[in-house]
Amino acid sequence: MIKTFIKRILNWGSPDKYVRELHEKKGYLEAYAAHTDARVAEGDAKRAIGGSWEKMGPLQFDFLVKNGLLPEHKMLDIGCGTLRGGMHFVKYLNPGNYTGFDISAEAIKFGKELVLKEGLGEKKPNLVVSEKMNLKFEEFGGQTFDFFLAQSVLTHLPPEPIEECFANIGKLMHANSVFFFTYFGGDRYRHFSIEDFCYPFAHFESLGKEYGFSVRDRSDDYPHLIGQKMMEVRKL
């Protein structure tokens, strides 16, 4: 971690080179987590996960509430980062009902500190580092959640972890659970920058068919600042 941080400082003027080197040396998710870790450790935890806290936090929160999220519901925030949306959900949900997990240990550490700083300790959010960096959800075995959200997460994922997510998330869903995620749309799959991917709707439609979900485009109800699309996934 300290080594990564120092390297990042040394590469201050050429952030792309630093990120490219990380990705040459490590597997994709490991490199992405190291990149997020370093950015959070640099002290700008808000920009590390995409910035725009004032707009992107309420946007996620309002959308889920409009779609039926109640304080008694249990929610899993997949790739919760430094709690840009998470803080709104922690405040709103009953104690113990918010779970956030992330591959970045620094983001989770920051989130835990923020919860205490904001006097929300009694809300007892469950903030978990995804040690194995996969989307098999083994950490949550035996639990079900009413709402799932992955905001700005699949936008940064190659096809394999996305398929892993579709293959496993059903274990945590009951008949009325709903999974919302954002993605970059495109007419075909493209890995268009080091940590950004776009997919056509049909990609998720075929994953839905394979793993037993309906998928529905909800982008008209989700005015994302840079045009990420919103998808609703339910068990068939």
Ligand X SMILES: C[S@@+](CC[C@H](N)C(=O)[O-])C[C@H]1O[C@@H](n2cnc3c(N)ncnc32)[C@H](O)[C@@H]1O
Beta partners for residue 38, in sequence order: none
Instruction: Please provide residue 32's backbone torsions phi and psi, each rounded to the nearest 5 degrees.
Output: -65, -40
Q: Residue 181 CB, nearest distance to ligand X (Å)?
A: 10
For residues 20 to 39, the per-residue mask of contacts with ligand X, x marking binding by CB under 6 A and - elsewhere, is ---------x--xx--x---
d(C-alpha 149, C-alpha 142), whole Å: 19
Q: Least distance to ligand X from the beta carbon of 160, Å?
A: 10
Which x/- pattern over 62-91 shows residues binding ligand X (rule: CB under 6 A)? -----------------xxx--xx------
Cβ 51 to ligand X shortest distance, Å: 9
**Side chain identity, residue 152:** S
Q: Does 111 bind ligand X (CB under 6 A)?
A: no
Residue with tokens 């008209």: 220
Of the candidate residues 4, 97, 151, 228, the single one contacting ligand X (CB under 6 A): 151
Only one residue has tokens 């940064």, namely 156
Residue in 34, 103, 162, 172 binding ligand X, rule: CB under 6 A = 103
CB closer to ligand X, 33 vs 207: 33
Closest approach of Cβ 211 to ligand X, in Å?
Answer: 17
∠ CA 106-57-40 to the nearest 5 degrees?
20
Dist. CA 31–CA 52, nearest whole Å: 24
Q: Which of 8, 74, 88, 156 is the binder for ligand X (CB under 6 A)?
A: 156
Nearer to ligand X, 187 or 191 (CB): 191
Residue 38 near residue 3, CB atoms below 8 Å = no
Q: Give dist(CA 184, CA 196) in Å, integer.
A: 8
Closest CA relative to residue 128, chosen from 161, 81, 61, 58: 81
We find the least distance from the C-beta atom of residue 166 to ligand X, in angstroms, to be: 13
Tokens of residue 89, six digits: 């959900």
Task: State the residues that interact with ligand X by CB under 6 A.
Answer: 29, 32-33, 36, 49-50, 56, 79-81, 84-85, 101-104, 107, 130, 135, 151-153, 156-157, 161
